[in-house]
A and B are shown apart, each in its own frame.
Chain A
């Protein structure tokens, strides 16, 4: 197996593992370090979803306190700290907007998201954060507008396909096709950089 990633994955994996170990050992400096590394990402994502700065701050606080309390749940060989925290930030934020709208919607799906992050993650995300961020932003903005729209609603608002169809007054089949085409395009756009495979 020849590794062919843009950045040595083991170092980041090892760094995540070490940082998590320090969090489990209740080393306060580790929490500060985690925040310095990922505070911006967690806050930006929360703000994108909840839209209100005060709420985004609360979500960010929840996420970091969760990581502090539950660091033992983190397993580096199943995913990066970035994935862990951004998955948490997304699900907490969506829960919050849902609570506010008092809509009974796929709560299960969102909490399942968090489990999925642990259950099925692979050590596949160790590419410099800034690089990944600008790459995915560019890839998303390059999508045809109708594909970008459905993916953004699904990801940032947590709506299901049928809910999106209802919202946009579009046939369900069309929504499904747009999501598929958009996600496949995004995959092609980021694949060369993330280079999952190690053949």
Chain B
């Protein structure tokens, strides 16, 4: 994909407004396309400008939030209040090394209290004890995080199992459809707006249910979706709306509202406003005749 060269000044202009979110309409697309194919200068400049834009958030005059806000946020999150950390307060999570043990062999000047070494030893002992307490608090924190993480992992695994079950059920259904005599299978062919795209509809004619598979479709334009139409008795009936998140992506779309009382003659896919429309308005990207 060769982009026509963009004068650097023009790029700077687009990039400066883009990072501020201030570009109008088409310029966003122009800029993103250029960036995707961009020259080295652009690649170097863009992240720097983006960083300027991000840093602008810190340009707001610093204002202390009302003290009660902290507790309100923590309560709303269902967290029991934790004491505030004043700026500059040392972080208790960082362990301080144990204090050096006093060297008793060093000769003490005469006349100093007999109790001094004992007092120093007691102080050192206290320091070590509080260091140990900190270590224990750290270990407790770690254990708590570990427990929470294990719980989350478990929930993740449960979700994964649910997902796998759903996939297995879907595949069993596909096999059933393939093996049934009353099922229909139609290949959809590419049309001009989507070169290289392909599709198939496999469905149970009696039940009006089945699946659409599509491959190599362009990513949805912003505010657009793809819509499948079943054309029976010359009338298009919406059979499902889907989106393609990645360029050249594939999708397996379950269909459960196909006409079951009429004979479908054609399946077609068009580009429509997001969410779909009652009757087709946009460009057709794939189509196939039933039995054709």
- Interfacial chain B residues near A44, Cβ < 8 Å: 60-63
Which B residues are in CB contact (< 8 Å) with A176? 13, 17
Q: Does A137 contact B (CB under 8 A)?
A: yes
**Which listed residue, A27, A32, A82, A180, touches B148 by the CB 8 Å rule?**
A27
Q: 8 Å CB contacts to A: which residues of B62-84?
A: 62-66, 69-70, 72-74, 76-82, 84
Does B64 contact A155, Cβ atoms closer than 8 Å?
no
Q: Which residues of A134-170 have CB atoms within 8 Å of chain B's CB atoms?
A: 135-137, 140, 151, 154-156, 158-162, 164
Instruction: Flag whether A190 is at the interface (Cβ < 8 A).
Output: yes
Main secondary structure of the interface of B (DSSP, over half): helix
B69 and A61 contacting across the interface, CB-CB below 8 Å: yes
Complex Cα gap A29–B93 (Å): 12
Residue among B21, B63, B81, B222 with most chain A CB within 10 A: B21
A179 is an interface residue with CB less than 8 A from chain B? yes
Chain A binder among B22-30, B127-135, B199-207, B227-235: B22-30
Cβ of B165 < 8 Å from any Cβ of A?
Answer: no
Chain A residues contacting B82 (CB-CB under 8 Å) are: 28-29, 32-33
Cβ B73 vs Cβ A87 within 8 A: no
A154 touches B85 (CB 8 A): no
Does B20 sit at the interface, judged by CB under 8 A? Answer: yes
Which of A43, A79, A155, A182 counts the most B-chain CB atoms under 10 A from its CB? A155
* Nearest CB of chain B from residue A45's CB, rounded to whole Å: 5
**A residues near B57, Cβ cutoff 8 Å:** 41, 45, 83, 86-87, 89-90
Flag whether B39 is at the interface (Cβ < 8 A).
no
Is there a chain B Cβ closer than 8 Å to A112's Cβ?
A: yes
A184 at the interface (CB under 8 A from B): yes
Cα A29 to Cα B20 in complex, Å, equals 34
B144 touches A27 (CB 8 A): yes
Chain B residues with CB below 8 A from A97, complex form: none
Contacts of B28 in A (CB 8 A): 109
Rounded to whole angstroms, the CA-CA distance of A90 and B24 in the bound complex is 19
* Distance from B168 Cβ to chain A, minimum over Cβ atoms (Å): 27
Whether A179 touches B13, Cβ cut-off 8 Å, given contacts A22-B145, A43-B65, A132-B58, is yes
**Interface: A39 (CB within 8 A):** yes
Question: In the complex, what's the smallest C-beta–C-beta distance from B3 to chain A, in angstroms?
Answer: 19
Given contacts A31-B77, A53-B66, A161-B23, 10 further A-B contacts (CB under 8 A): A26-B148, A32-B74, A40-B62, A60-B73, A61-B73, A79-B54, A120-B47, A137-B61, A160-B24, A162-B24
Would you mind naming 27 contact pairs between A and B with Cβ atoms under 8 Å apart? A22-B145, A25-B152, A26-B148, A27-B141, A27-B145, A28-B74, A32-B81, A33-B82, A35-B70, A36-B84, A39-B65, A39-B69, A39-B70, A43-B65, A43-B69, A60-B73, A83-B57, A87-B54, A124-B51, A160-B23, A160-B24, A164-B22, A177-B13, A179-B13, A180-B16, A183-B19, A196-B47
